[in-house]
Amino acid sequence: MASQSGFCDLGFAKIDTERLKRKGFSEVIYCPGKEKSHLKVIVSTLLKNKQDILLTRLEKNKFAFLKSSFPRLKYNAIARIGYFVQKPKFKKPGIVAVVTAGTSDIPVAEEASMTLEILGNKVNRLYDVGVAGVHRLMQNLPALRKANVIIVVAGMEGALASLVSGLVKSPVIAVPTSTGYGANFHGLAALLTMLNSCSPGITVVNIDNGFGAGYFANLINK
């Protein structure tokens, strides 16, 4: 059970049981670097405290290990997200559009999309509409303009976020990805392009941080 301090001290981890009240969703668990046995105890503790489960960057072998103890745990292999929601979330009326420049950006976009859906958002996925064939984007302009907030996921030079922002009134969350050749520097080129955008209304999260973009978009949309 949670202590009066608002967290459960497991020795190797301190589970924040009050985050649901502060943020509207339980503590989210980043899985890389954590032992399987530690993840099992963390998930068990969250469930005992009637918390929802969202596990990011969860590898298949760790999911299989957890699934044997927690049969209701679900998994999205593309997003690498494990999740279980105690009660279905009330769907927010607004739409969040998740846009990718290319197909290679989909895993990061799916991390954002799944995060949004687990948190109770309606998501419109618009994938592979990058600037190399800008007519693909323009065909989706009506859908983009209906969104309350837009997440743009792009690697290479990362130009798509600026283009989208210049066409809509909604806030844009730009996600640089590590997709690209050598001078992309594992996403640094896209990150710098997005940070230096001249289009107002863009905020930028870290390289490949689909979860961060989805979580922030949820806060805007609610």
Tell me the per-residue pLDDT of 8-21, one tens digit each, with 9 for 90 and over. Answer: 888 999 999 888 88
Confirm whether 89 is domain-assigned.
no
Confirm whether 90 is domain-assigned.
no
Cα separations in angstroms, 52 against 22, 68, 89, 101:
14, 18, 11, 32
| Per-residue pLDDT, 86 | 82
Shared domain for 127 and 46, answered yes or no, is no
Q: How many CB atoms lie within 10 A of CB 2?
A: 17
Confirm whether 35 is domain-assigned.
yes
Domain boundary among 65, 84, 103: 84
Shared domain for 70 and 160, answered yes or no, is no
Confirm whether 131 is domain-assigned.
yes
Shared domain for 104 and 193, answered yes or no, is yes
Average pLDDT taken over every residue of the chain: 92
Tokens 């948190």, residue? 119
Confirm whether 132 is domain-assigned.
yes
Given a cut of 60, whether residue 175 has pLDDT beyond it is yes
Shared domain for 104 and 175, answered yes or no, is yes
Shared domain for 65 and 102, answered yes or no, is no
Confirm whether 1 is domain-assigned.
no
Confirm whether 101 is domain-assigned.
yes
Domain boundary among 58, 84, 110: 84
Shared domain for 110 and 217, answered yes or no, is yes
Domain boundary among 84, 103, 125: 84
Long-range own/partner contacts, residues 138-146 (CB < 8 A, 24 or more apart): 140/99, 141/167, 143/97, 144/97, 144/99, 144/168, 144/170, 145/169, 145/170, 146/95, 146/97
Shared domain for 107 and 15, answered yes or no, is no
Shared domain for 55 and 106, answered yes or no, is no
Find the domain containing 169 and state its range.
95-221
Dihedral sign, CA of 140, 176, 59, 39?
A: negative
Given a cut of 70, whether residue 1 has pLDDT beyond it is no
Looking up residue 104, the CATH number of its domain turns out to be: 3.40.50.1970
As for how many domains the chain has, the answer is 2
Shared domain for 128 and 204, answered yes or no, is yes
| Per-residue pLDDT, 79 | 96
Shared domain for 185 and 116, answered yes or no, is yes
Given a cut of 80, whether residue 2 has pLDDT beyond it is no
Shared domain for 210 and 109, answered yes or no, is yes
Confirm whether 2 is domain-assigned.
no
Shared domain for 99 and 172, answered yes or no, is yes
Given a cut of 70, whether residue 37 has pLDDT beyond it is yes
Count of CA atoms in the C-beta half-sphere (13 A) of 213: 34
Give residue 5's pLDDT band: very low, low, confident or very high (50, 70, 90). confident
